[in-house]
Copies of this chain bind each other. A is one copy, B any other.
Amino acid sequence: MTFDELFLTNLKGIYFAERQVLKALPKMAKAAESAELKQALTEHRDGTQGQVERLQQVFEILGKRAQGVTCEAINGLIEEFTELVDEAREAGPVRDAGIIAAGQAIEHYEIARYGTLVAWAKSSGRKDVAALLQATLDEEKKTDTLLNKLATGTVNMQAAQAA
């Protein structure tokens, strides 16, 4: 396997992942009770659409067809969210705390993947590709910070008091 092939495999993995996240986010927003959390997830859905398009640009630059390969990690992360919503049943701060946790786990997966892809693109001298992926990486970090603020600012305290 060449370094280019390794890069492409991981690019296809995150392309699959982003499109799964795109489908999951409206469900997460629907399950949320907090208006702020609903809004954050809805806005992140729109952002994710842009991230998918950025990945398509990367495929184009590399002269490859935009194509996903199944990424079991993201399937597992989304499954954990679905199970949580099932188990928590009622909407409220406890379920919101769980939704934020699931969202942050997804963000961290993406942060790890984009971090790696940016570093690989730079090592291969592909500054154009690195810049595109870096833009998404910055957005994922911002979303993680926002979710963190929602959790520690209001939701966790409400969840602790609800118990």
Is B112's CB under 8 angstroms from A3's CB?
no
Further pairs besides A2-B162, A3-B163, A10-B101: 8, Cβ < 8 Å = A3-B159, A71-B76, A73-B80, A97-B120, A105-B109, A107-B112, A108-B109, A120-B156
Q: A88-B1, A105-B113, A160-B123 are in contact. Are A6 and B76 (CB under 8 A)?
A: no
Q: Quote the shortest CB–CB distance from A90 to chain B (angstroms).
A: 8
Contacting residues, chain B, for A119 (C-beta < 8 A): 148, 151-152, 156
Is B2's CB under 8 angstroms from A123's CB?
no
A89 within 8 A of B: yes
Q: Quote the shortest CB–CB distance from A136 to chain B (angstroms).
A: 15
A116 within 8 A of B: yes
Q: A76-B76, A104-B115 are in contact. Are A159 and B123 (CB under 8 A)?
A: yes
Contacting residues, chain B, for A100 (C-beta < 8 A): 116
Contacting residues, chain B, for A9 (C-beta < 8 A): 84, 87
A4 within 8 A of B: yes
Q: Quote the shortest CB–CB distance from A40 to chain B (angstroms).
A: 16
